[in-house]
Structure 1
């Protein structure tokens, strides 16, 4: 059913989302009566437009607000209403939210393990970032309740640095409060004070009134335990003021009145619907006599048709049997295909990871040998070896990238970006390749494009790196033009047009239809002459698919090619651009540093130690995670270089254990990242930075300088 709206008025969907956004804000600010009123408006629009998914979302949000009001029965009422609608349609996000609310209800009844089980089910149904963050918070609260402090700490820490586009500060505030409660339980009063203070600061700046109360409450208790009675008294006085201003009898009465009115109106509407159904049934009863007469007349005709229908049914039964057989065959084929895909994913992930370890030895030893004044003949061979190592590493990275996309392990971020800066940095990084082919790169950038857009900077960089790099590869003594233009802008919705065109060798018509397939480069001759894996355009196509966009191609053999696409983004016009455009890399003097190297591979130990010695850095070496924890506890290091994948306890677990007694020493994760690795989990464990193996020496040294010397300078300044 289509609904037409007058020009200039918002669509029902946008109106509903606006009311949902208001509900979220009011709920987080503990203005529950306003939250219910906004939510009621959204539900009315959803019902008028027969928008079942938005109505399900409305019922779920009602349930969550009534939970805040401690009206469990009303919560369950709306939760049940959502279930009735969910049974009739396929709505993964709605099903995930339904299980999330059920988990909260179970947790409130102290059924902790059933709640965790339900949250795991919810995570499998949908990957909405905001919902996953709230699930992470709920898990942390449950872990805290059952005294699984390590798991709770990990979840809370990951939420402290979350990038949620809707509730970033609210989730961080709740995480700090969770940590404060955790450290209160474990009687670590200094950490409790530190986290409660952070929570109070965030809550005050965002007017999270309930959380302001909880933070003051935590600080009052903690300061009393460390015998800072003046500060304890200050926060206890704050509690009294907050009780008087926020948790007033008048406010509670208003919230209860609004909640009861909305529920009463909903019940009345249900009664009205039931009355209409009864009236319809009464009318049909008056017609029953006429119906009986007509029925007897039709019986004769029906009996004549019965024989024919019987024969048709026999044919249908045979057809259904055949269809069921075919459906089972299709189901089996699908299951086999899924198993094959999982096997391929796991195989490629394992191979990609395992290849990185010997590659680290190849690239590391090559770098060291090149710096030891080799003869000209040796230098030529070493440069060839370095080129081969870099080529193989890029190939592995490309396979891993496609594998992640195929396995749905990637989803685009939605954070503030500077598009012109991204394009400029990509072009600058490819200038050396352009010089080698005597080719010029031109950027045609539309200055009317908003300076602040919301997207994923890394994935956009990968798209343009592949497109521009591909154009440079097939263009000698020519020109590659990168075009970015504003197509349209409506409020915060922006549509941009991008094009990368060259005057290189072009692509024949028959090859264009397969050019985006894996390992396709047009011909064997092209592959031999120009090299490459043939995966670049496949990655571009897959990455654009994550943004809901599609790459298109126009090309004429011998005259050049043009790759173009459109992207729908959100703009943030309210953000003031006060950040300098260029970021300059610093040169660090690393002489005299003493670090701990945690690495189980003997060859890698030797290489890493030699690379450190080149910069006059001394080191101790731990061959496993347990040794690393012991050495870190017994000695003072300027930094720790932590391998992640090791036998025994992993580098991630070792980091968590070290952070229990050492909060300050910088820890840099060195890892051959696999498909299942999560950078967020490394940071949540306590790592300050991550370097992927095999790494470029200059990146390795830069990271050491930033995280060790850079932190020292900041600490001294503060």
Structure 2
């Protein structure tokens, strides 16, 4: 947002104002002067509160339009500085009303100019801002007040330049120059020279533009003008770049960055002040309203007491009136109590309805999860099988794209469900042992298709001092890393992604690790770096065609809160981004030496020839025909002997009559459920492993599954290698 010239009018003409009451005048002047001092020192909180006090005091007496104008004008200026244009416009409009009521042309000109600043910043309504500036010019011309003509002429030229109408700006710049002549107003002279430079730059008159830009930078360097310096060097650099003087353009940009850095702390303070000011002013207004109501209430009590005192003087008639009055009060009280009870009852019903709707929403998401994951199981499973078919090598790329699309759809479903669960506070941290290196390598392999698609290079760097065997929630950590690494791959093309793990501190029991995901992709603009952590929000780069839900980073931020951590972002647009966070894990002391532990936690834990020697019989229990085919074909690839049961009752009978080494039991089936069928099997066979197959979120039914007697869980759709691991893990103790 361009900062145009403001007309503040602080304390102007105060000496010429006369009030009837000297005490009131002194109080009003002191409040106005104090508020201005606070604003001059960027103490917006106290300045705004002081201006509100000034309004409260001035409203108590008639004819205080002058002070009411200044109070609202100062508030408008403060809120404009704080980037709160809505509040600024509201107070400027009020100041205009009081300027008109005071019949003061100077105040009117100031109000018109400041309202012009507000409207001219809106690209779709800048003409309204120009109209307000022209009102200042008309009034100042009528009053022959040349000094007040400077700001509106410069501001109109500025507005036309900002809206690519440079040809209209020249007349107003010349008008301002004639009025200024040899006056020493360095910041206005700097802005005027910068605007002339912009005009000639837009007209492709580079030599003329250079003269004015050099004048501007000389003034800002001489007088250390921060805001004007940043603006002058910005356009000076653009002119030099257009002229082909790239080295000088680079030097000019460095000067712009220098002035920008000098204003950074002020802007940062302004933003903090803005938040505090809005909150405190709202609290102040609330307290003021409470105090006003309390005063009215106390006044009513006093009035009623006086009435009662008068009534007590009268004998029987007064006593009768009092009794009737008390009776009416009690009647009103009973009515109010009855109404309150009805409202409480309505509130309770509303609460119950809300809770019911929340439960229905949770059930709906659970049902959607199952209904979407079930067909995805078929798509992903069949695609994985086709990828292994040597006769379909010519279709490998198409099949990989199909599997990637199905995996991507599954990820979107999981993101939506994850947000829903976190909002319902159903997600809790679990502590399980895991191997850090294996976990990160597995995630890297999962994202391999995206890496190849965008022609990126992935670099995994784990410090040697980082313990590999940890205890913590590896599932949540995986979700965090998948989202961060996935984002880096999607928004980087022909670049590099670095995944780093460093040890921050370590004790005998715990280790705090720092995780970093860095890329050299498109980066994130400073203005978007807070917005991207909001749900359904994402940056929209012009050179990418990526679309998503915008849930990845919000999920990361919420999950890190579960770990009592937070995400940190360092990004430069077009240079890349770095996301980092820290998590404290327990160290798993019970693991064997590193080589043995790695062997036990990788797919190599199962010898390659083991599937060939296993002649195990597996019962597949599933009511879905496609799921039966997919599961059976995956198992038959490893030479398992498979048999199908269509429902839970058939499964119970087959286990009784057959000699099976393992049962794969679908949880949701018509008739009796998989869990009920498992309970019946456990009545006569407690040794056969039963693995639950489910498309429902596992956290929702984990405890119920284990209580039913099931040994393990496989979530559909599943990764083929993970599927084999769970099957071998439950069969090998039997066959070995």
Give the structure-1-normalised TM-score: 0.49
Higher relative contact order (CA 8 A, sep 6+): 1
Question: What TM-score, normalized to structure 2?
Answer: 0.48
